[in-house]
Chains A and B, each alone.
Chain A
């Protein structure tokens, strides 16, 4: 559904751009087109899960680099894991957030095909996670809070990634993050794909954009494992409970940040403002916490706990 709306909006935008000098007829036409456009966007309220997956992956959607440019001043990018490699699919560094020095780490997908390739479409290798760990330790040393942006299809499932210990890299990231003595706030801005996303998301507060998705596996992978048919991804998205609203209800995220109608790419400035506000609101109380690690432990300790029972098994 969203795809048709998107292409209709694109047609309208093209026509508006092509309207000549402001003659009476052009003005009338323009007003009509603007009304049509608003109507089309109105239909994007409460998108079904499958459409949210599409919006979350939209190439025009603002990524980590855009959020850093908009929200962080004096950003200094830190590259490399100090072991063997720089993995550009994770972007990290230091900068000011409203005057406070912070460490920022996020997945980077890249803006065009060339960047996409360089960033491996946002799928990190173990080296990327080890760079993130290095920056987290550094943040702890200098008592800086950490902001993370999650936007990845998942950790890269490649030959070299396996040989270099993808599992170990994610596991040790989870362990390290869980015990960080500085506050951590995470925003899921696009795709939160599996362990590769979680490795940056063990935070005191996990926020999520309205149309972002966060799941145990991609809907395609899910459909292919459970139903042996990856083309049923749209259907999988519905049963997986991967939308921000679902995850809020399950207790996995703390706050849903609203997006403009049609998705973040329709009005990135509005999204930057909303995320800025949400980060500020969430970070402030965390700075007063005496033991951010204990707070974080408690949060993740309770994940899913309300969905367990000690019921005796009744075997026959």
Chain B
């Protein structure tokens, strides 16, 4: 026992000496555990401060990417979250080389089963159905499972007569599932059209980044369309456009602000205001509105 203790002590001393040497040589100590660098302005922000600010950089206001479960915890009232179709996955229709392994690896790494989480819950006491795409899962791309889960959420909302909220974040259709990914665009859009015709309320919110087949389907079909500040939103990706037209894109092209200016977004809403804004829209669609006399 004593022997082990001494060994450990010796290693600690050694480590401390090395650290001292490195500091003398001007090598920075790793700060990864406490700080996170903002990808937009480069500022090192304490992780605790970043979390408190809902992962919006306190220096520059950049909205960091956040996962689907975190997003839902920000949106929904505590203890109201009920996940839908949690176990629905696709079965590699094209037998695409390496795809199964990639999915398996990502499931372990991210804790997600697929690129979207769908749920029922409450926003300030009002029941809703919500779907959130997660860009950490193959860029939030839409394969069969994502398309099917979104469609089921839309159909569930229609049956239950609940408002629907979808946060999109996606690189588009999932290449590894080929044409069947493309077909999910038609499927989700068809389900939403039915939902609309039965009088359902759909609030769409673009988050960074949303491109390709998701922009060209359910993300663009909201009754109300919101976006987080600075989000990249487009059909073709910026690189593809630059290659096509052979020139650099202007500053701010395809940003949420650019889309608002061009008439495709109702309002840009900072993350801290989203819950409030969504609640406002839900209130505006509650039944039983009456005209007061006074």
Confirm or deny: A114 has a beta carbon within 8 angstroms of a beta carbon on chain B. no
From A168, A170, A304, give the contact of B147 (CB < 8 A). Answer: A304
Query: Is the beta-carbon distance between A222 and B175 smaller than 8 angstroms?
Result: yes
From B87, B111, B182, give the contact of A198 (CB < 8 A). Answer: B182
From B175, B192, B240, give the contact of A226 (CB < 8 A). Answer: B175
From A158, A159, A240, A301, give the contact of B94 (CB < 8 A). Answer: A240
Confirm or deny: B217 has a beta carbon within 8 angstroms of a beta carbon on chain A. yes
Confirm or deny: A75 has a beta carbon within 8 angstroms of a beta carbon on chain B. no
- Once bound together, how far apart are the Cα atoms of A164 and B235, in whole Å? 11
Confirm or deny: B91 has a beta carbon within 8 angstroms of a beta carbon on chain A. yes
- Once bound together, how far apart are the Cα atoms of A170 and B148, in whole Å? 20
Query: Is the beta-carbon distance between A215 and B178 smaller than 8 angstroms?
Result: yes
Q: Of all chain A residues, which has the CB nearest B149?
A: A308
- Once bound together, how far apart are the Cα atoms of A40 and B221, in whole Å? 51
Q: Of all chain A residues, which has the CB nearest B214?
A: A167
Query: Is the beta-carbon distance between B177 and A304 smaller than 8 angstroms?
Result: yes
- Once bound together, how far apart are the Cα atoms of A303 and B187, in whole Å? 7
Confirm or deny: A17 has a beta carbon within 8 angstroms of a beta carbon on chain B. no
Q: Evaluate whether A178 and B186 lie within 8 angstroms (CB atoms) in the complex, with A162-B236, A216-B173, A304-B147 already known.
A: yes
11 contacts between A and B (CB under 8 A): A163-B262, A166-B216, A174-B186, A225-B175, A252-B180, A304-B177, A304-B180, A304-B184, A304-B187, A307-B177, A308-B144
Q: Of all chain B residues, which has the CB nearest A129?
A: B216
Query: Is the beta-carbon distance between B220 and A172 smaller than 8 angstroms?
Result: yes
Q: Mark interface residues in B80-92 (1 if CB within 8 Å of A CB, else 0).
A: 0000010111111
Q: Specify which chain A residues have a CB less than 8 angstroms from the CB of B219 in the assembled complex.
A: 167, 171
B201 CB to closest chain A CB (Å) equals 16
- Once bound together, how far apart are the Cα atoms of A4 and B45, in whole Å? 62
Query: Is the beta-carbon distance between B179 and A300 smaller than 8 angstroms?
Result: no
Q: Specify which chain A residues have a CB less than 8 angstroms from the CB of B249 in the assembled complex.
A: 159
- Once bound together, how far apart are the Cα atoms of A313 and B83, in whole Å? 15
Confirm or deny: A195 has a beta carbon within 8 angstroms of a beta carbon on chain B. yes
Q: Specify which chain B residues have a CB less than 8 angstroms from the CB of A155 in the assembled complex.
A: 216, 235-236
Query: Is the beta-carbon distance between A171 and B183 smaller than 8 angstroms?
Result: no
- Once bound together, how far apart are the Cα atoms of A313 and B108, in whole Å? 10
Please tell me the number of chain B residues within 8 Å of chain A, measured between CB atoms.
66
Q: Evaluate whether A175 and B221 lie within 8 angstroms (CB atoms) in the complex, with A167-B216, A301-B151 already known.
A: yes
- Once bound together, how far apart are the Cα atoms of A161 and B263, in whole Å? 14
Query: Is the beta-carbon distance between A162 and B182 smaller than 8 angstroms?
Result: no
Q: Specify which chain A residues have a CB less than 8 angstroms from the CB of B186 in the assembled complex.
A: 174, 177-178, 198, 201-202, 300, 303
From A195, A242, A308, give the contact of B178 (CB < 8 A). Answer: A242
From A177, A195, A225, give the contact of B216 (CB < 8 A). Answer: A195
Query: Is the beta-carbon distance between B217 and A171 smaller than 8 angstroms?
Result: yes
- Once bound together, how far apart are the Cα atoms of A117 and B196, in whole Å? 39
Near A by CB (< 8 A), chain B positions 167-224 give 173, 175-187, 189-194, 196-197, 212-213, 215-221
Confirm or deny: B135 has a beta carbon within 8 angstroms of a beta carbon on chain A. no
Query: Which secondary structure characterizes the binding site on chain B?
Result: helix
Q: Evaluate whether A157 and B236 lie within 8 angstroms (CB atoms) in the complex, with A165-B262, A178-B186, A247-B179 already known.
A: yes
Near A by CB (< 8 A), chain B positions 101-151 give 107-108, 111, 113, 144-145, 147-148, 151
Confirm or deny: A118 has a beta carbon within 8 angstroms of a beta carbon on chain B. no
B43 CB to closest chain A CB (Å) equals 31
Q: Of all chain B residues, which has the CB nearest A203?
A: B186
B235 CB to closest chain A CB (Å) equals 4
- Once bound together, how far apart are the Cα atoms of A301 and B148, in whole Å? 9
Q: Specify which chain A residues have a CB less than 8 angstroms from the CB of B212 in the assembled complex.
A: 195
Q: Specify which chain B residues have a CB less than 8 angstroms from the CB of A217 in the assembled complex.
A: 173, 175
Query: Is the beta-carbon distance between A178 and B179 smaller than 8 angstroms?
Result: no
- Once bound together, how far apart are the Cα atoms of A13 and B182, in whole Å? 41
Q: Of all chain A residues, which has the CB nearest B238?
A: A162
B89, B145, B184, B187, most chain A CB atoms within 10 A? B187
Query: Is the beta-carbon distance between A216 and B178 smaller than 8 angstroms?
Result: yes
- Once bound together, how far apart are the Cα atoms of A252 and B144, in whole Å? 13
Q: Specify which chain B residues have a CB less than 8 angstroms from the CB of A225 in the assembled complex.
A: 175
Q: Mark interface residues in A217-250 (1 if CB within 8 Å of B CB, else 0).
A: 1000110011000000000000111100001001
Query: Is the beta-carbon distance between A195 and B182 smaller than 8 angstroms?
Result: yes
